[in-house]
Amino acid sequence: MKFSNQEQKSILRKEILHKRNALNQFEISAKSKLIQMNVIGTHEFIESKTIGLYLPTGSEVETWNIINHALNSGKKLLLPRIVINDIRYYIVEQKDFDNDSFDVNRFGIKEPKIINGNVDFIDLLIVPGIAFDSYGYRIGYGFGYYDKYLTNKNYSKCFGLAYDFQFIKNRIPAFAYDRKIDALVTESGTHIFNTP
């Protein structure tokens, strides 16, 4: 039985998500710590003045160490907010975390307040995902927010964060609107893709 590209993506999304959701808090924390150390050690992170990041939800790779490191080293930190059907990145400062000054979107994810102000260009954009292949394609939750954002190319480099088992050797079925990332950071290191 042959599955369509959409069905293949859907099956893969379910399989990997099931595996990711089976991780316990200790595993998430330990693996995330290694992944974040790998990110912080990259030339791209060190050189970047603006970092676009995400707040982790569920079993996603945690980003708290990257957040703290970015804020403590004077980088401008940006987090996504859904605006109608797009995501836009808004500036977040330490006081926003201290005062828990965030809105919560329809997915139950915290987002920066619209009054925070946004920027036109991000040096290093860091995105979550469910599965990544060795060509730089990713599978997200299926809403297309990140692909839409990546299309505008308002960033210099884009990294994905994932656990090793989310990095698959087979090519992910890609559509015209799917966008490649530049590198994937897992607990075993940074995998660079030769994106055009």
> Over the chain, what is the mean pLDDT?
92
Per-residue model confidence (pLDDT) at position 166: 97
Domains and CATH numbers, the chain: 5-79+118-192 (3.40.50.10420)
Per-residue model confidence (pLDDT) at position 2: 67
Measured between alpha carbons, how far is residue 10 from residues 45, 105, 111, 173, 182 in Å? Answer: 32, 24, 27, 10, 23
> 87 forms bridges with which residues in the sheet?
82
Mean pLDDT of 113-140: 92
More confident residue, 47 or 144: 47
pTM score of the predicted model:
0.93
Per-residue model confidence (pLDDT) at position 1: 58
More confident residue, 178 or 51: 51
Per-residue model confidence (pLDDT) at position 85: 86
Q: 97 pLDDT band (50/70/90 cuts)?
A: very high
Q: Which two tokens stand for residue 190?
A: 């940074």
Q: What are phi and psi of 192, to 5 degrees?
A: -90, 135
Mean pLDDT of 4-25: 91
